Amino acid sequence: MPLSPPAQPGQSFAEIETPALVLDLDAFERNLVAMAAFTQAHGIRLRPHAKSHKSPEIALRQIAHGAVGQCCQKVGEAEVLVAGGVGDVLVTNEIVGAAKLDRLARLARTAKIGLCVDHPDGVREAAEAAARNDVTLDVYVEIDVGGRRCGAAPGEAAVRLAEAIARSNTLRFAGIHAYHGSAQHMRSIDERREAIERAGLAARNTVERLKHHGLPCEIVTGAGTGTHELETQSGIWNEIQPGSYIFMDADYARNRQADGTPFRSFEHALFVLAGVMSKPVPDRAVVDAGHKAAAVDSGMPVPFRREGLIYTKPSDEHGVLTGDPVAVPHRGDRLLLIPGHCDPTVNLHDWYVCVRGLHGPDAHVEALWPVAARGALT
C-alpha cells in the first residue's frame, strides 16, 4: 500500500508532517548553477553521481544545467534513471553476474550505457551480455588511485584490460575511471591535494601507457564534491562526478579550505524536518527523527541555525537534543537537521518535500519528488 507523503504542494511549511526530507529549492538551484558555472568555466565534463539523489527529477535538472548524463552505483539505479528519461548513464562500479549484466545491457537499447571493470572476467562477462542483447556497451577500466577499494593496478594491468575491451566486437573502450573516495573527506586542503596529486600521477601514467600501446584514452573520469577543484586543476581528468554538491551535508561542511575556514563552495539544501515530541527536563528534548530518518554513519545530524543545541543518542524513532535550557526547543516545536551523510539519508525517505522560500515567512511546498531509486540495491 503506497504511503501518504508528508505534505502536498501548496501547503505552508508549517503544515508539513514530521519527520520529512525537505529540499530547499532556492539553495538547491543555486548549487546547480554554481557547479554548472564551474565546469563551463574550466571546460570539463560534468557527470553528477545519482547515488546521492536517486531521482530522475533531479538528474534532468542537472542535465538541463549542462551535465552530460549521470553516473550511479547499481543497475537498479540505472534502470530508474533511464525510465525517467536520462539518456546517458555510467555505472561506476563492477557488475558481477549474468542476470545483472543482462538488465544493464537491455538499457543500452534506448540509452548510452557504460560500466567499469577491473578484472579480465568482467570484460568477458560484459561482452557476452552485450552480445546476447545485441548492443554495444561503453566500458571503463577502473584503476585504484589510492582508495584501496575496487580497481586494477595503474599502468600495465590497466592496459591489458583496455586491450581486451578493444578486441571485443560488442564493447567500446571508453576511458579510465580514477576515483579516490576517501580523499573526499580528508579535512585539510593539504591532505586532499596530496592525495589527488598521487592519484593524478597514477592516472597520467596509465593514460601514457595506453597511448604507447595505441589505445587513446578519451575520458578520464572521477572526482567528487570534496576534491573536484583539484582534479579539474590537474589537467588529467576531463570529467568529474560530484554528487553531494546539490545538498551539502554536515560531513562535507567539516572539510577545510586553504585559509582554514569551512568548505563553503555550496549551500546546505537538504534537511530532515523533525518535530519535538517531549521535553522531560529543561536541558533535554526528544524529536521524532532517529535512525530511520537520518543516517549517522558520518556523524550526527546538526541542528540548523540552532546555536548551543546538539543532536545525540538516536534510536529507531527518537533523537535527543541537549544544550542550554534557553536553546532547547519545546514540545510541538520543529527544527531542521542537516544530515551527517546525505546519500543514505535520502535512501530512508520516499519523498522530497520541495520548499520554496524555506527560510522566509512565506515558505511553502512547491512540489513533491519521489525518491524513485530508493532501495535500488541490485
In which residue are the cell numbers 542550554 written? 324
Cell of residue 290, nine digits: 532517529
pLDDT for res 2: 58
Is 278 in the same domain as 230? no
- Assigned domain for 172 exists: yes
Q: Is residue 68 part of a domain?
A: no
- Do residues 324 and 354 both lie within one domain? yes
* Residue 102 sits in the same domain as residue 196: yes
Could you tell me the residue range of the domain that residue 312 belongs to? 13-21+264-370
What CATH number should be reported for the domain holding residue 169? 3.20.20.10
- On whether residue 129 sits in a domain, the answer given is yes
Compute φ and ψ for 59, nearest 5 degrees.
-55, -45
Contacts of 121 (CB under 8 A, 6+ apart): none
122 and 232 inside one domain: yes
Are residues 212 and 105 part of one domain?
yes
* Collapsed DSSP state (helix, strand, coil) of residue 202: helix
List residues bridging with 221 in a β-sheet.
177, 239
* pLDDT at residue number 258: 82
**Distance between CA atoms of 292 and 169, rounded to whole angstroms?**
47
Q: Are residues 105 and 231 in the same domain?
A: yes
For residue 5, being part of any structural domain is answered with no
Per-residue model confidence (pLDDT) at position 261: 85
Residues 290, 340 within the same domain = yes
287 & 327 share domain: yes
CA-to-CA distance for 286 and 309, rounded, in angstroms?
A: 12
Report the candidate in 150, 256, 261, 246 with the shortest Cα–Cα distance to residue 193: 256
Number of separate domains in the chain: 2
93 and 233 both lie in a single domain: yes
What pLDDT is stored for residue 210 in this prediction? Answer: 98
How much of the chain is helix, strand and coil, in % rounded to 5?
30, 25, 45
Between helix 120-132 and helix 98-107 the angle, nearest 10°, is 60
In this prediction, the residues of the chain whose per-residue pLDDT falls under 70 are 1-2
Q: What is the pLDDT of residue 1?
A: 53
In this structure, what CATH number is given to the domain that contains residue 280? 2.40.37.20
Rounded to a whole number of angstroms, the distance between the first and last alpha carbons of the chain is 22
Instruction: Convert the pLDDT of each residue in 137-154 to its tens digit.
Output: 999 999 999 989 999 999
Q: Examine the domain organization and report whether 97 and 236 are in the same domain.
A: yes
